[in-house]
Structure 1
Amino acid sequence: MDLLGALGKLLRGDLKLKPEEGVLEYRGQRLVALPASAIDAAVKEMEKYFGEAAVIVMERMGAAVGAAVRNALGWKTGEEALRELPQMAPLAGLGKIRVQGDRLEMENMPEDVDPAVLRYIAGFLEGLCIHVEEIGGGGHRAEAKVAPRPCP
């Protein structure tokens, strides 16, 4: 987490944390924070029931969470989401995200990146109206070629 950036957002009132409730408020919009370990645990549990199809379920979950974040924060376009995502990501425990042209670089992610996590990330980005053309990664890093798209 970018502690100085988070401190600045706290001081400006952009960010309010309620850890006892598992809630993060960003610019007045309330989001329920999910620890990355919960996503990893969900993958392991779903693999028991769905086998290899668990990655598809994870992608759908990511899309639902991404759409909820987009709606809660009032982002109207993929361009807006892409512009704001690097500032929001560390506060939500998503590591550090950089936008380099049509590439999205994610590092310092809290969990190891595996195929299910990559599908979750792809779904999350699609929920933000950011089309993922390709995605890959390993360790605590991921990279995606993306293109913003209109939101429904």
Structure 2
Amino acid sequence: MFFAWLVTADALTPLPDNSPSFFSGEWAGTGEQGTYCYLNLSADGWGWVLIDGGAGDWLGARMQWRNRQQALQVEKIIPLPTSTQLRVMPLGKFVLGSGFNQSLMLTWNEQSGGCQLQKIETTARHLIRARSAIESLLQRERMR
């Protein structure tokens, strides 16, 4: 007699991650005309948003956020108070969208093209790999 065991297999695609660690950390990126954007998202669900439009003045806000099945959801925006000494202006509204390959898109008004953001640690790893590749190419070139 021949017996076959039926085995059920779990899906190969992991379930969406709802943990805060999926988005927590530092994010940075650029946009049109020298715009620089920075996010600092803490695992406690709070974070900072800073936008430099290219002139050295910051638009800023605190925010409460959460990970909703690998989509960053902003729960609350608290504009930073105006500070002429720190060159900070309040940021009253913005939209954060999850992008491809763990990137975020930050927009704050219709005129801005927004910023594409990546985790700083991810960018640092890419930078190390790129530098290593160039160094390897230079070593090969020296050997010729």
* Length-normalised TM-score, structure 1: 0.27
* Length-normalised TM-score, structure 2: 0.28
Q: Give 1 or 2: higher strand fraction.
A: 2
